[in-house]
A = this chain, B = another copy of it.
Amino acid sequence: MSQDVLFDFERSDRIGLSEALYCGSKSPAQVEAAVADLAHRGVRVLLTRLDEVKYAQLGDSVRALLDYDSFSRTAVLGSLPMPSTPPRIAIVTAGTSDLATAGEAARTLMFYSESAEIMADLGVAGLWRLLERRAQLVMFPVIIAIAGMEGAFFSVLGGLVGNPIIAVPTSTGYGVTSGGHTALHAALGSCAPGILVVNIDNGFGAACAALRILWNGARPTSVN
């Protein structure tokens, strides 16, 4: 049985965003075959959920093609463009544990020439940490907010600034907050109006949504 990937090469033309290679449920052999095929065609592509164990199982020749970052579990096949100046997207996290997801979002934005400013550890148990950043935050056209546990972070932020806010609940926590569903539901049911939400731990999706907002449907021609 052939295990070749049937890539959606025209997605970028349709919606500005090209297909990414989600490695979470692919075998190393499947990742290898896809990367080799895409490299052969000269296609730039972003790989997500490529953890260190799976990355180490790829052949040397394939690994040599990739710009890999273990912390965010992402890799890039092909060149990384110069980032836009200055950052138009703020990525704020409630805790240190949310930084891997922040990294996935930041790397996705970099793939599309957007840089982001990351501000970590602004959780609401220490409210001053977030209040001090308010003036700075309102300057960004889009804010990506990342939090696990009970997700109170989203509501406080949403009541402080009027910018578009993309909430990314994370699976950080244990007991009732294990798996991220409490943070997800807190984001969706927030008492602050107009919070937007993506799947648990989905830094990639948050970045794509931010690009949809920034580009407003039209991918800049400067992005190859």
Interface centre among A49, A122, A184, A199 (most CB of B within 10 A): A199
* Nearest-neighbor residue (CB-CB) of A99 within chain B: B3
Number of interface residues of A (CB under 8 A): 106
Q: Nearest Cβ in chain B — how far from A190, in angstroms?
A: 5
Using a CB-CB cutoff of 8 Å, which residues 139-195 of chain A contact chain B?
141, 148-152, 154-156, 158-166, 171-177, 180-182, 184-195
Report, nearest first, the 7 A-B pairs whose CB atoms are least far apart: A194-B208, A8-B126, A175-B200, A6-B121, A177-B189, A152-B152, A15-B162
Task: Write the residues of chain A forming the contact surface with B, with a CB cutoff of 8 angstroms.
Answer: 1-8, 10-11, 14-17, 19-20, 22, 24-27, 30, 34, 49, 71, 94-97, 99, 102-103, 106, 118, 120-129, 138, 141, 148-152, 154-156, 158-166, 171-177, 180-182, 184-202, 204-205, 207-213, 215-219
Q: Is the CB of A197 within 8 A of B194?
A: no
Q: Which of B15, B99, B102, B204 contacts A159 (CB 8 A)?
A: B15
By beta carbon, the residue of chain B nearest A175 is: B200
Minimum CB–CB distance from A91 to chain B (whole Å) comes to: 10
- Say whether B185 contacts A215, CB under 8 Å: no
Contact (Cβ within 8 A) A190 B3: no
Which chain B residue lies CB-closest to A70?
B27
In the complex, chain B residues whose CB is within 8 Å of the CB of A181: 176, 185
Chain B residue nearest in CB terms to A209: B194
Contact of A185 among B8, B26, B176 (CB under 8 A): B176
Evaluate whether A125 and B158 lie within 8 angstroms (CB atoms) in the complex, with A186-B152, A190-B149, A212-B165 already known.
Answer: yes
In the assembled complex, the CB of A118 is this many whole angstroms from the nearest CB of chain B, namely: 6
Q: Are B175 and A188 in contact (CB under 8 A)?
A: yes
A164-B213 in contact given A15-B159, A188-B176 (Cβ < 8 Å): yes
Could you say which residues of chain B place their CB within 8 Å of the CB of A197?
Answer: 188, 196-198
